[in-house]
Amino acid sequence: MTDRPTAAVLTDEFFHLPDAKTAHGLVRGPSRFAITAVIDRHSAGRDAGEVLDGRKRGIPILADLDELLARGPRPEFLVVGVATHGGVLPNAMRGVLLRALQHGMSLVSGLHEFLADDPELVALARSKGAQLIDVRRPKPRRELRFWTGAVTAVRAPRLAVLGTDCALGKRTTCHVAQRAAAANGHRAAIVHTGQTGWLQGIPHGFVLDSTPNDFVCGELEHAIVQCDRDLAPDLILLEGQSALRNPSGPCGAELILGGQARGVLLQHAPARRDYDGHPGHRIPPIEDEIDLIGRYGARVLAVCVNHEGLAPAEHDATRAALARATGLPVVFPLLDPDTALSPALQAFVAAERRR
């Protein structure tokens, strides 16, 4: 039994791809919803956890909405579990959402195209007494905050999880780091910066890419200050977005400068050559990224490897090559024990306490 609302996650045919990273986060957990199923015709008939990382989690993948409704009981929510290019709602998914509303299910979406701006969805939701929740809808301007410098009084050190590209697993590494800190006896809290963090029920954070630029550092600061006041953690982990030099959406300096993060875990996919979705736009060498982070005033503690595109036989050689190139610990967050990050976090917290 659970007191969380029940939800199914809609991924259409993308669950096995990075496009379904929102669904992946909900399947791995945590989640503010009790996930009962994933709807995905490509991977139907399998366990969602098995498709994701080989670990069964008791969440079935169903072919369509009809199969979901036939299984019963009907979940309370249907969550759009993909992050599409440009945040656009695919037409095929819109039809499924209309049918879900007809059956009384409320809808949740983290896309830039808002459900509540669609007159047909709004009218049907109203007639069925259902909710339309757009996680990325910006706050009213009067509620947005400027950076004030209050973050400088925050006791807990900040550690940013940045990446050399987008869609690398930075949020997942935040959870791994949180568990690694716990192994040292340290309480770590996460400040989320994306829609999936909200869906996972992380209490402090904001959606960075739907916040007007002038207010990004202020909203980040407010989340950090509130996290420190509410939880008094030993360490605050800041979820990064995109990458410092991703030409389609550079991001990361806000966490180092506005969030005053002195430490960084750097997520990297060695098999990628170009920025995601932008062929021909090369990702700079990781050594250059580490140097740039240092020039911003933060120190990279470890390289966290996304092993996509790497055969298992390549893992050891990749780890060794990155360690030689960077002089840093190299961790595979989804393959190594969580405690692989513990020494780097222990040293960081100890050094920050001595400051």
Which CATH number does the domain 6-134 belong to among 1.20.140.10, 3.40.50.300, 3.40.50.720, 1.10.287.3510? 3.40.50.720
Identity (one letter) of the amino acid at 114?
Answer: F
CA-to-CA distance for 315 and 317, rounded, in angstroms? 6
Which CATH number does the domain 143-354 belong to among 3.30.360.10, 3.30.420.40, 2.120.10.30, 3.40.50.300? 3.40.50.300
> Edge to edge, what strands does the sheet with 61-62 contain?
61-62, 34-40, 6-12, 77-80, 106-109, 132-134
DSSP structural state of residue 129: T
Spell out the domain ranges in the chain: 6-134, 143-354
Identity (one letter) of the amino acid at 45?
Answer: G
What are the pLDDT tens digits along the chain (355 aa)?
458 999 999 999 999 998 999 999 999 999 999 999 999 999 999 999 999 999 999 999 999 999 999 998 999 999 999 988 889 999 989 999 999 999 999 999 999 999 999 999 999 999 999 999 999 999 999 999 999 999 999 999 999 999 999 999 999 999 999 999 999 999 999 999 999 999 999 999 999 999 999 999 999 999 999 999 999 999 999 999 999 999 999 999 999 999 999 999 999 999 999 999 899 999 999 999 999 999 999 999 999 999 999 999 999 999 999 999 999 999 999 999 999 999 999 999 999 998 8
Neighbour-count burial of 142, counting CB atoms closer than 10 A to its CB (0-12 exposed, 13-18 middle, 19+ buried) = exposed
Q: By the 8 A CB rule, do 345 and 159 touch? A: yes
pLDDT, tens digit (0-9, with 9 covering 90-100), for 34-75 = 999 999 999 999 999 999 999 999 999 999 999 999 998 999
pLDDT, tens digit (0-9, with 9 covering 90-100), for 280-305 = 999 999 999 999 999 999 999 999 99
Report field, pTM of the whole predicted structure over 0.85: yes
Same fold, 6-134 and 143-354: yes
- Name the percent of the chain lying above pLDDT 70: 99
Q: By the 8 A CB rule, do 2 and 34 touch? A: yes
CA 256-261-265 angle, 5° bins: 95
3-state DSSP call for residue 58?
Answer: coil
pLDDT at 123: 98
3-state DSSP call for residue 63?
Answer: coil
